[in-house]
Structure 1
Amino acid sequence: MTNLPESTLERLIETARAVRLNAYAPYSKFWVGAAVLDEGGTISVGCNMENGAYPLGTCAEAVALGSMVASGGKECRVIVIVGTGDTLITPCGGCRQRIAELAVADTEIYCVAETGDERKKLSVDDVLPNGFRL
């Protein structure tokens, strides 16, 4: 994985924490935010959106990656995921596949607590070993 400048990582963390507050989570009360850095240095964001028909909910990571693609980004270089509370959350299986398809070999995935400095840095292979990639 590359050495991401600390200032860029801090900006991504603050962006994910801020967008998390926009989540639509009336059922679980579990707000998630994600920030993606693409190959051009553009940051795209997403938050989770629940739905009364539970399988139709959308993860923050999926929204952020979709926003990246819609904005013209092709490669996810870094993704930061912030959940509710002090528990670090990791992407669901579907989002792990989405990340793998849009990631480059050294994409960095950061799982970060809502408050404080707790974080975990992962690679695509950490979250989806032997995953399907084009």
Structure 2
Amino acid sequence: MDLEMNLNAPHSMGTTIIGVTYNGGVVLGADSRTSTGMYVANRASDKITQLTDNVYVCRSGSAADSQLVSDYVRYFLHQHTIQLGQSATSKVAANLIRLLSYNNKNMLETGLIVGGWDKYEGGKIYAIPLGGTLIEQPFAIG
């Protein structure tokens, strides 16, 4: 049995993330451990990222990939708000993540759950697994 740890391996979150809709909105949850193989790199990692005032994303998979996708989407949504004068919906955020994930599916190792509330559709949950498929569900686990 090989007990050597490869400390140069990419950080993998080995994550549990969940999103659930209810009558008044959305609840998102995630564990807080980031690991590289058997080595725990961070026991207090924040895997839920705010994209807009009402839209958040739960990140799993490669920490670097999921942070990069979240940062790009947050930037695009900020530009959307400036240009249109109103906040983007959770569906817009989920579609941006889907486009980035699908167009880079051979390079990204991340699965995401987008959850948010808007005045048009209420609370929504969207799962975007590896490969960039967009799935709207009342709940999602990743």
Report the TM-score range of the alignment, normalised by the length of the smaller protein.
0.3 to 0.5
User: Which structure is larger by alpha-carbon Rg, 1 or 2?
Assistant: 2
Which one has the bigger helix percentage? 1
Which one has the bigger strand percentage? 2
Indicate the structure whose relative CO is greater, using CA pairs within 8 Å and at least 6 residues apart.
2
TM-score normalised by structure 1 residue count: 0.37
